[in-house]
């Protein structure tokens, strides 16, 4: 079956450019998470949606980062005026979260962003 997909897989941006990263979660999954993973580090939480509601955005590093999930399915992470420190792999994960309790997160392959 289809898993979580992300596009583009690789993105090279010049410093100052805006970028948009897309995540297609598994159909029917309620929860969607964005993580930033620097080389050799663990995934670092950025933000979390339940359906279209953004419940937690405490991990977004600055106001240059913005995420949306307008129809409760596809999500976009936008980074404005990219900086070199934004270079990382951006991972998206979804989970069914049909009821209370912890759920496995299904990760996409990630988008590797390089800011020159």
Partner 1 sequence: QQPVQSPQAVILREGEDAVINCSSSKALYSVHWYRQKHGEAPVFLMILLKGGEQKGHDKISASFNEKKQQSSLYLTASQLSYSGTYFCGTEPKTSYDKVIFGPGTSLSVIP
Where on the chain is the footprint of partner 1 (CB under 8 A)? 4, 31, 33, 35, 40-45, 48, 50, 55-56, 91, 97, 100-110
Smallest gap, in angstroms, from Cβ of residue 62 to partner 1?
19
Instruction: Tell me 101's DSSP state.
Output: S
| Nearest-approach distance from CB 103 to partner 1, in angstroms | 8
**Nearest distance, CB of residue 19 and partner 1, angstroms:** 20
Cα separation values, 8 from 30, 71, 104, 111, 113, Å = 23, 21, 24, 6, 9
DSSP state of 26: P
Nearer to partner 1, 10 or 62 (CB): 10
| Cβ contact 70:49 at 8 Å | no
Q: How far is CA 86 from CA 34, 37, 45, 47, 60, in A?
A: 14, 10, 14, 15, 11
- 28 or 102: whose CB is closer to partner 1? 102
Indicate the DSSP class of residue 110: -
Q: How far is the CB of 102 from partner 1 (least distance, A)?
A: 4
Shorter beta-carbon distance to partner 1: residue 80 or 106: 106
Nearer Cβ to partner 1, position 82 or 105? 105
């Amino acid at each position: 079956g289809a898993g979580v997909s992300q596009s583009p897989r690789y993105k090279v941006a010049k410093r100052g450019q805006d970028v948009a990263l897309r995540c297609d979660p598994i159909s029917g999954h309620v929860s969607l998470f964005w993580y930033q993973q620097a080389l050799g580090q663990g995934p670092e939480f950025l933000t979390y949606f339940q359906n279209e509601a953004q419940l937690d955005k405490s991990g977004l590093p600055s106001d240059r980062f913005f995420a949306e999930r307008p129809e409760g399915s596809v999500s976009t992470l936008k980074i404005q005026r990219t900086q070199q420190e934004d270079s990382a792999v951006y991972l998206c994960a979804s989970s069914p979260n049909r009821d209370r309790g912890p759920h496995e997160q299904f990760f996409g392959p990630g988008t590797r962003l390089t800011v020159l």
